[in-house]
Homo-oligomer: A and B are copies of this chain.
Amino acid sequence: MLAGGKDPLIYEYYENSQPRVEGNLNFGVTIIYPGKVGKEYFLTRGHYHAKEGTAEVYYGLKGVGIMVLQTKKGESKWIQLGQGQVGYVPPFWAHRTVNTGKKKLYVLFAYPSDSGHNYNTIKQKGFSKLVVEERGTPKIVDNPSFT
Protein backbone atom coordinates (compact mmCIF):
# COMPACT_ATOMS: atom_id res chain seq x y z
CA MET A 1 0.00 0.00 0.00
CA LEU A 2 1.30 3.44 -0.85
CA ALA A 3 0.45 5.94 1.86
CA GLY A 4 1.49 9.52 2.43
CA GLY A 5 0.78 12.67 4.31
CA LYS A 6 1.57 16.32 4.73
CA ASP A 7 2.15 18.72 7.53
CA PRO A 8 1.13 21.75 5.46
CA LEU A 9 4.07 23.93 4.44
CA ILE A 10 6.60 21.98 6.53
CA TYR A 11 7.01 18.45 5.21
CA GLU A 12 5.43 15.63 3.26
CA TYR A 13 6.07 11.90 3.07
CA TYR A 14 5.39 8.95 0.81
CA GLU A 15 5.44 5.45 2.23
CA ASN A 16 5.16 1.90 0.98
CA SER A 17 3.42 0.18 3.89
CA GLN A 18 3.66 -3.57 4.21
CA PRO A 19 1.52 -5.83 6.40
CA ARG A 20 1.90 -4.91 10.07
CA VAL A 21 3.60 -8.18 10.85
CA GLU A 22 7.02 -8.72 12.44
CA GLY A 23 9.73 -9.23 9.82
CA ASN A 24 8.21 -6.88 7.23
CA LEU A 25 9.65 -3.42 6.52
CA ASN A 26 7.97 -0.13 5.56
CA PHE A 27 9.98 2.32 3.51
CA GLY A 28 9.57 5.67 1.83
CA VAL A 29 10.74 9.22 1.43
CA THR A 30 10.22 12.29 3.59
CA ILE A 31 10.64 15.74 2.04
CA ILE A 32 11.24 18.59 4.48
CA TYR A 33 10.88 22.10 3.11
CA PRO A 34 13.48 24.78 3.75
CA GLY A 35 12.50 27.51 6.16
CA LYS A 36 12.41 28.60 9.77
CA VAL A 37 9.95 29.53 12.50
CA GLY A 38 11.83 32.28 14.28
CA LYS A 39 15.39 30.94 14.50
CA GLU A 40 14.31 27.29 14.46
CA TYR A 41 14.64 25.35 11.23
CA PHE A 42 11.71 23.45 9.71
CA LEU A 43 11.55 19.84 10.92
CA THR A 44 9.37 16.77 11.25
CA ARG A 45 7.20 16.34 14.33
CA GLY A 46 9.38 13.47 15.54
CA HIS A 47 8.24 10.24 17.10
CA TYR A 48 9.00 7.23 19.23
CA HIS A 49 7.94 3.88 17.87
CA ALA A 50 4.86 2.49 19.59
CA LYS A 51 6.68 -0.86 19.77
CA GLU A 52 9.65 0.83 21.37
CA GLY A 53 12.29 -1.81 20.74
CA THR A 54 12.36 -1.18 16.99
CA ALA A 55 15.00 0.65 14.98
CA GLU A 56 14.92 2.76 11.80
CA VAL A 57 17.45 3.43 9.05
CA TYR A 58 17.61 6.78 7.22
CA TYR A 59 19.56 7.82 4.17
CA GLY A 60 19.96 11.37 2.92
CA LEU A 61 19.03 11.55 -0.77
CA LYS A 62 19.35 15.28 -1.36
CA GLY A 63 19.84 18.42 0.69
CA VAL A 64 21.46 19.05 4.07
CA GLY A 65 20.05 18.32 7.49
CA ILE A 66 20.43 17.08 11.02
CA MET A 67 18.66 14.27 12.85
CA VAL A 68 18.01 14.84 16.55
CA LEU A 69 17.49 11.82 18.80
CA GLN A 70 16.54 11.35 22.42
CA THR A 71 15.43 8.68 24.87
CA LYS A 72 12.84 8.77 27.62
CA LYS A 73 15.75 8.53 30.09
CA GLY A 74 16.92 12.01 29.06
CA GLU A 75 19.74 11.08 26.70
CA SER A 76 20.09 13.07 23.48
CA LYS A 77 22.31 13.15 20.41
CA TRP A 78 22.34 14.54 16.90
CA ILE A 79 23.89 13.47 13.63
CA GLN A 80 24.38 14.95 10.17
CA LEU A 81 21.74 13.66 7.78
CA GLY A 82 22.27 15.16 4.36
CA GLN A 83 22.89 13.79 0.90
CA GLY A 84 24.91 10.56 1.06
CA GLN A 85 24.72 10.23 4.85
CA VAL A 86 23.17 7.31 6.72
CA GLY A 87 21.46 7.68 10.08
CA TYR A 88 20.68 4.78 12.39
CA VAL A 89 17.95 5.19 14.96
CA PRO A 90 18.52 2.51 17.61
CA PRO A 91 15.51 0.96 19.36
CA PHE A 92 14.00 3.20 22.08
CA TRP A 93 15.20 6.49 20.55
CA ALA A 94 12.79 9.21 19.42
CA HIS A 95 13.93 11.02 16.30
CA ARG A 96 13.13 14.00 14.14
CA THR A 97 14.71 15.40 11.00
CA VAL A 98 15.66 19.04 10.55
CA ASN A 99 16.29 20.81 7.26
CA THR A 100 19.24 23.13 7.82
CA GLY A 101 19.65 23.97 4.13
CA LYS A 102 18.24 26.40 1.62
CA LYS A 103 16.57 23.72 -0.53
CA LYS A 104 14.27 20.76 0.11
CA LEU A 105 15.75 17.90 2.15
CA TYR A 106 14.90 14.38 0.89
CA VAL A 107 15.47 11.40 3.16
CA LEU A 108 14.81 7.71 2.58
CA PHE A 109 13.65 5.65 5.55
CA ALA A 110 13.03 1.98 6.38
CA TYR A 111 11.65 0.51 9.60
CA PRO A 112 9.86 -2.61 10.85
CA SER A 113 6.22 -2.61 9.72
CA ASP A 114 4.98 -3.52 13.18
CA SER A 115 6.73 -0.54 14.85
CA GLY A 116 3.81 1.84 14.89
CA HIS A 117 4.27 5.50 15.79
CA ASN A 118 3.94 7.37 19.04
CA TYR A 119 3.72 11.10 18.29
CA ASN A 120 2.00 12.00 21.55
CA THR A 121 4.97 11.87 23.91
CA ILE A 122 6.82 14.39 21.74
CA LYS A 123 3.70 16.52 21.32
CA GLN A 124 3.35 16.77 25.10
CA LYS A 125 6.99 17.05 26.17
CA GLY A 126 8.86 18.29 23.10
CA PHE A 127 12.50 17.60 22.30
CA SER A 128 15.21 18.59 24.78
CA LYS A 129 17.35 20.06 21.99
CA LEU A 130 16.48 22.56 19.28
CA VAL A 131 18.30 23.26 16.03
CA VAL A 132 18.48 26.99 15.42
CA GLU A 133 20.25 29.26 13.00
CA GLU A 134 22.86 31.50 14.58
CA ARG A 135 24.94 33.77 12.37
CA GLY A 136 23.92 31.76 9.34
CA THR A 137 24.86 28.31 10.64
CA PRO A 138 22.98 25.57 12.53
CA LYS A 139 23.50 25.33 16.27
CA ILE A 140 22.13 22.85 18.81
CA VAL A 141 20.68 24.56 21.88
CA ASP A 142 18.67 23.47 24.93
CA ASN A 143 14.92 23.77 24.55
CA PRO A 144 13.76 26.13 27.30
CA SER A 145 10.22 24.75 27.17
CA PHE A 146 11.20 21.07 27.37
CA THR A 147 9.44 19.43 30.31
Contacts and interface: CB of A to CB of B under 8 A. Distances in A.
A108 B88 contact: no
A55 B88 contact: no
Contacts of A88: 16, 18, 25, 27
A103 B112 CA distance: 33
Contacts of A91: 23-24
Interface in A2-26: 16, 18, 21-25
A124 to B, nearest CB: 24
A25 B57 contact: yes
B59 A23 contact: no
Contacts of A54: 23
B56 A59 contact: no
Nearest to A49: B23
A90 B18 contact: yes
B24 A55 contact: yes
Nearest to A89: B25
Nearest to A87: B27
A110 interface: yes
24 contacts: A16-B86, A16-B88, A18-B55, A18-B88, A22-B22, A23-B53, A23-B54, A23-B55, A23-B91, A23-B112, A24-B55, A24-B91, A25-B55, A25-B56, A25-B110, A25-B111, A25-B112, A27-B86, A27-B88, A57-B57, A57-B110, A59-B59, A110-B110, A112-B112
